[in-house]
Structure 1
Amino acid sequence: MNDPANERFRRVLDHVDSHLDGDLSLDVLARIAAYSPHHFHRRFSALAGMPVHRYVQLSRFKRAAWQAAFRPSVSLTDVALDAGYESPEAFSRAFRQRLGQSPAAFRDAPDWRVWATAWRELDEVRRFHMTTRFRLDDVRIVDFPETPVACLSHVGPPERIGESIRRFIAWRRASDLPPARYATWNVLHDDPETTPPERYRLDLCVTCESVVPNDAGVTAARLPGGRCAVLRHEGPDSLLGDAIRFLYGEWLTESGEEPGDAPLFLRRVAFFPDVPEHEAVVDIYLPLRPH
């Protein structure tokens, strides 16, 4: 990514993420890339594998679809208009074409299998052009305090995680535990690339002193205290695996540290779609053996 042309291209992707409500015309994006419009659209297509207008359209649609799926307080009409569609009907047609359901039908009963592959084109572009080069001194070691949490365990295929997220969000909202005041955590018990889908487990957690009995399946748990290596990842979740591989590979090898018995866990600091995707922030905690 040291190629100046690639850096200019990344600036364009960042600009698109940050200005989904603004003017993302060919002329504007060509100026960001410091190309003439005549060459920019060809250069973009060659690097991204799709025309620039298609990339913009998919980026706006992805944010809108995530709002439809995980922000029930936002009306579908507002979602459609914010995404640049002329009418809710136009948004519904696009939604049905990509996800096989209308927005309203999806909110009622999502088909998570389709959802799991709906963003593959965008993720591939970002995975190739928005990678981050981590350095050893990006990692810090902290003494993490044992932390009480409310926990919902997702057990089953990773592509159905959205189903658990929606249930957890609903319980959290009803329990008055907003992300601005109560930290959000994920505990990664398994690697989805090596674990049979039916056995895959990930815990959705929020800092919480006590949990009253409920029908959502949320229970009281604790994040174990101890020494942890912490690495901050900024950007889309599609690149999170690169940061985790850096911790387990290069950093552990060079530091001489060894992982502890507890599983890897994450703190979700800033969330997409509440922030642009490249501004999402996740702190990765790797428990270490005590000295």
Structure 2
Amino acid sequence: MPTSTDTPGASRAEYGRRINRVLDYIDRHLDTPLELAQLADVANFSRFHFHRIFAAWMGETVGDYARRRRLEVAAFRLSCGTGGTVLDIALGTGFGSGEAFARAFKLKFGCTPSAWRQGTPERLAQQAAALGARKFTMHSNLDQVLGKPDQAHGRGPGEDDGSHPAQGANSMEVQVIDLPAVRVAYQRRIGPYGPGIGAFWRDTMAPWMQSHGLMEQPCYGVGLDDPVLTPADKCRYDACVVVPDSFQAGGQAAIAALPGGRYAVARFKGQPAAIADAWMTLTRDWLPSSGLQCDERPCFERFDAVSALDPASGEFSCDICIPVRAL
């Protein structure tokens, strides 16, 4: 009898799920030594061949990936003003000493960890102008992204023609509330944020959701990396849909939990092209004056697949959610 991985597409999906388990495991254990044999077991790959498989799939070795993630997470923690010392952050991301951390950090980012922390306000101001290229925007016509398979589609996600005025960014009300954790099925895309994300929803996620009767469930778009820190071709994005406890993922999808807790939540309603401005307003203007700061849980956009886009006005509605904690 044929198995679920008898076809090339199913086999590749299985490889993707296993590699994703390793990526998630590494992120959860950056402060501990990572052994190849242990990671191979997480992926259920041969210990002898795992290193070669990982490098071929990811375009970098396990060691290079872990080192990059440790430095990216350290840079994020320094920027967030976590209150820890540079040594605390070094040890918390798996470096054996402050000296080793400082050398590796300067080699990657061109400055010392202390200088990076001190330069955060200026760096954020410079980055705000380019926020439209960052992870937070899905852009484009969500009726086409999550529409019916037989529905003809026009412009692809991120291919907005620029004719829409930026609306909604400055009129949003922000609530700081507790959100519950949610169980989701997700498919992951690795590559540059932007137009490819919308195409991923339309061509990959939406057909899978429809085939499993999930089109009425809430959706989440989760950018796991900051493209200011992470090379564009290494950025991870999860297209997620809420599933019940009894749901068993299959095919390309895997199951995960989005963490609950305190979030700043702003309801966005406007032309899709304006959502980047909305994220910029929240992160540049609202957050610094709120008495709060981001923590290390992921930011996301939450929306309903069926009603996110008003076909008459072209307006897109979603909740922009930023995980926060006290300064």
Normalized against structure 2, the TM-score is what?
Answer: 0.49
Change (3 A) 1:228 1:174: same
C-alpha change, 1:162 and 1:230, in structure 2 (3 Å) is: closer
Match of 2:185 in 1: 150
Determine the structure 2 residue equivalent to 1:268. Answer: 303
Matched residue SS, 1:164: helix
Say if 2:148 is the partner of 1:71: yes
2:277 is aligned, of 242, 261, 265, to 242
Question: 1:231-279: CA deviations, max 9, x gaps?
Answer: 111123321111111111111111111111101111114333x634542
Contact 1:234 1:278 in 2 (8 A): no
Q: Contact 2:190–2:236 at 8 Å: present in 1 too?
A: yes
Superposition map of 1:191-202 within 5 A: 191-192=226-227, 195-202=230-237
The residue identity in structure 2 corresponding to 1:131 is: Q
RMSD: 3.1
Q: Write the letter of the residue equivalent to 1:256.
A: G
For residue 48 of structure 1, what is the aligned residue in structure 2?
Answer: none
Structure 2 CA distance for partners of 1:173 and 1:207, relative to 1, 3 Å: same
Name the SS of the counterpart of 2:325 in structure 1: coil
**Separation (CA, whole Å) in 2 of partners of 1:160 and 1:222:** 24
Q: What code does the residue aligned with 1:170 have?
A: P
Q: Is the CA contact 2:146–2:206 (under 8 Å) kept in the aligned structure 1?
A: no
1:202 and 1:254, CA in 2 relative to 1: closer, same or farther beyond 3 A?
Answer: same
Point out which structure has higher relative CO (alpha carbons under 8 A, 6+ apart): 2
**Deviations 1:32-90 (Å, cap 9, x if unpaired)?**
xxxxxxxxxxxxxxxxxxxxxxxxxxxxxx97x9749953233x5xx8xxxxxxxxxxx
Cα shift at 1:193: 6.1
Runs of at least 5 residues in structure 2 that lack an aligned partner in the other structure: 1-139
Q: Does 1:226 align with 2:261?
A: yes
Q: 1:118 to 1:265 in 2, by over 3 A?
A: closer
Change (3 A) 1:276 1:184: farther
Residue pairs, 1:31-180, within 5 angstroms: 67=144, 70-74=147-151, 115=156, 118-119=159-160, 122-123=161-162, 125-126=163-164, 129-134=165-170, 138-158=173-193, 159-165=195-201, 166-179=203-216
Q: Name the structure with the higher helix share.
A: 1
Unpaired segments ≥5 residues, structure 1: 1-61, 80-94, 100-114
Asked whether the equivalents of residues 186 and 265 of structure 1 are also in contact (C-alpha less than 8 Å), the reply is yes
Partner residue in 2 for 1:205: 240
* Residue identity (%): 27
Structure 1 residues 194 and 152, CA, compared in 2 at 3 Å: closer, same or farther? same
Give the 3 Å change call, closer, same or farther, for CA 185–68 of structure 1 in structure 2.
closer
Structure 1 length normalisation: TM-score? 0.55
Hey, what's the Cα distance between the residues in 1 that align with 2:276 and 2:199?
A: 22
Aligned partner of 2:286 in structure 1 is 251
Please give the secondary structure, in 1, of the residue aligned with 2:284.
helix
Distance 1:153 1:226, change over 3 A: same
The 1-side partners of 2:145 and 2:238 are apart by 23
8 Å contact kept, 1:226–1:290: no
Contact (CA 8 Å) 1:149, 1:221: kept in 2 or not?
yes
